[in-house]
Amino acid sequence: MKYITIDDYYPITFYNECKEALKNNGIKFNEFISIKPPYNWYFQLENAPIMINYEELPSKDTRWLVNIVNPLTPNEDYLFLRRENDNGPKALSKFVQNKYMSAVQDYGIFFTIRNREQGEKLSKEFPGKIIYFGKYYNNKFRVCLSDNKMIKNYISPDQILLENNGEFKEPGRFEAELNFKIFRGNDMLIKFTDMPYFKNGKYKQVKIKSEISSRFNIW
């Protein structure tokens, strides 16, 4: 897979046209933003385009890429349409942070669970919501997130993947560190406008688009 940007060559209106063309032609792609200047947007594609100008991201810089938030409904598609002033660091908060990632800029903890039953049992004891991000790194990790330090009283140290005590305040940085340090660049965290979660001993699902639903629905 290649990560390519056209930001240095074309206006944002053309970027949106390219995105629609990819959808119309049935070409699979993902969108990323680099959290480092100049904060370019990237398409992840199997093959690079041949009729437009682009720059390919060096492999050493993929550690700074984070997925944009995926909308769950057609109405939300409009909210996440890139506009002319959606450039630079201010675009990071809007496009790479859903409400759960915004809540962990001062404190947050990614941890893993063995299975759905463990998550349900944990949420019976822990007085808070546990956000579930699905399976990653060849199903090695079933990733959960909490913004409450009390969660450490309910999980074992070997379940902790990455903790943010305020050192990862920049939008997208906590996520980028998880992708690089824990997934070792072999996977990327996926986010939606809303997320599945555990609370009061139950698992609450949201409708995830079919091509990646197995990350969340198959345990």
In tens, the pLDDT along 31-49 reads 999 999 999 999 999 998 8
Does the predicted TM-score (pTM) go above 0.95? no
Residue whose pair of structure tokens reads 């050493």 in the numeric block:
60
Q: Across-strand partners of 65?
A: 34
Choose the weakest-confidence range: 81-85, 101-105, 115-119.
Answer: 81-85
Residue 211 has pLDDT above 80, yes or no: no
What is the per-residue pLDDT across 2-27, written as a single tens digit (0 to 9) for each?
Answer: 999 999 999 999 999 999 999 999 99
Interval 105-131 mean pLDDT:
96
Residue % of the chain over a pLDDT of 90 = 83
Is-contact 153 111, C-beta < 8 A?
A: no
In the chain, the percentage of residues whose pLDDT exceeds 70 is 100
Give CA angle at 159 (157, 164), nearest 5°.
80
What would the two tokens of residue 5 be?
A: 């940007």
Q: φ and ψ at 165, to 5 degrees? A: -100, 25
Helix (H) or strand (E) holding 15: helix 12-24
Q: Is 94 helix (H, G, I), strand (E, B) or coil?
A: helix
The CA-CA-CA angle for residues 31, 82, 46, to 5°, reads 25
What does the mean pLDDT of the chain come to?
94
* pLDDT in the model for residue 75: 81
- Cα 147 from chain centroid (whole Å): 16
Distances (CA, A) of 109 to 74, 152, 165, 168: 31, 9, 9, 11
Q: Which helix (H) or strand (E) holds 17?
A: helix 12-24
Mean pLDDT of 187-201: 96
Say yes or no to pLDDT of 209 above 80: no
